[in-house]
Structure 1
Amino acid sequence: MKTLITERLTLRLVSVDDAPFILELYNHPDFYRFVGDKQIRTVEEARRYIQENMLHMQESKGVSLLVVETKADKQPIGICGLVKRDTLTAFDIGYGYLPHAYGKGYAIEAATAVVEFARDSMKIENLVAITNNDNIRSISLLEKLGFQFERIEQTYDNGRTLQLYTMTL
């Protein structure tokens, strides 16, 4: 994926220099709860995750999660981009943010840029998104973007459900 620019944000390819940020984001309690524990506990493990997962996906599938930075101070606040999971037929939009970025419209701004890139540059016709049934922020964002609930993808023992949303571009 290429760098995407919005009014307030820059979405750019991750690098190993982003390891401290990825370590912080991926170890935040909200990230654990809604995305899962990726077993990243050190900066070195974050570097390895960036190389073996994020950059590898970019190289092998042409898509990746991008680091979302505010233009004003060039500080990373989250990730947003496209993922191609082997378990799903369509490309998947993914995102996650640090709490200080919540409620400021950054997520919708970044996700809109990713959807437009998928449609206009990659000529993708359908996108999917997966979220927990209790992730109210994520469900709200997906609905604002125009995604529609399609089906329950998986149910967990703790009573939470993973839901699949779809969008035709």
Structure 2
Amino acid sequence: MKIETKRLILRKLEDRDAERMFLMHSNPEVMKYLETPVTSLEQSQNDIRMIQKQYEENGVGRLAVVEKESGLMIGWCGLKLLKKPINGHVETLDLGYRFIPEFWGKGYAWEAATATLEYGFNDLKAETIYAYADSGNAGSNYILTKLGFENTGEFEDDGVRYFWYQLKRENYNVENGKD
């Protein structure tokens, strides 16, 4: 599977992506609103194996985001099938993205997420795609609303407050967020 945009290639994560994944997931700024930063390359290798298993079992999973110009993996973006309940939802598609800080503020998250949503609605025929973000993560919450997601409420998990978002196929407009 491969999705191309003007500046990016989204492809399945491969074992060779472990060092770039480690660079991203070991960065405290990246992980500020997420899990504890990883401390070993082995953890990133295990994360990639887990995602590869999701491709096999669910047909979807987070994808490596590669900057065409440099050829570097700069983050990941994609749909994940929620297998355990989150905010009461299970067996639903969740949009997620994460990028190495030097690539923040360049519109890559929006570009990758837009391509992912098009894939979800057009190829997977999803009726609704969900997302959630830490209520304090202004950047992620901004991107989700710019993409056209509707904040439908809040929930708490392990003492952290999250905003819950949904985007229905009939409300999706590829023009959302274009300047």
Q: TM-score, with normalisation over the residues of structure 1?
A: 0.91
Matches within 5 A, 1:13-24: 13-24=12-23
Q: State the partner residue of 2:177.
A: none
Matches of 2:23 and 2:139, distance apart in 1: 20
Q: State the partner residue of 1:165.
A: 165
* Matching residue's letter, 2:66: E
Sequence identity of aligned pairs in percent?
29
Q: State the partner residue of 1:44.
A: 42
* Matching residue's letter, 1:165: Y
Matches within 5 A, 1:89-128: 89=90, 90-128=92-130
Matches of 2:146 and 2:31, distance apart in 1: 24
Give the paired residue count: 164
1:63 aligns with 2:60: yes
Deviation at 1:31, TM superposition (A): 2.8
* Matching residue's letter, 1:58: Y
Deviation at 1:30, TM superposition (A): 2.6
2:115 alignment partner, SS class = helix
2:156 alignment partner, SS class = strand
Q: Which runs of 5+ in 2 are unaligned?
A: 170-179
Q: State the partner residue of 2:175.
A: none
Matches within 5 A, 1:143-154: 143-154=145-156
Deviation at 1:71, TM superposition (A): 0.5
Matches of 2:80 and 2:36, distance apart in 1: 17
1:79 aligns with 2:76: yes
Deviation at 1:33, TM superposition (A): 1.5
2:32 alignment partner, SS class = helix
1:8 aligns with 2:10: no
Q: TM-score, with normalisation over the residues of structure 2?
A: 0.86
Q: Which runs of 5+ in 1 are unaligned?
A: none
Q: State the partner residue of 2:172.
A: none
Matches of 2:100 and 2:43, distance apart in 1: 19
Deviation at 1:84, TM superposition (A): 1.2
2:69 alignment partner, SS class = coil
Deviation at 1:156, TM superposition (A): 5.1
Q: State the partner residue of 1:26.
A: 25
* Matching residue's letter, 2:34: V
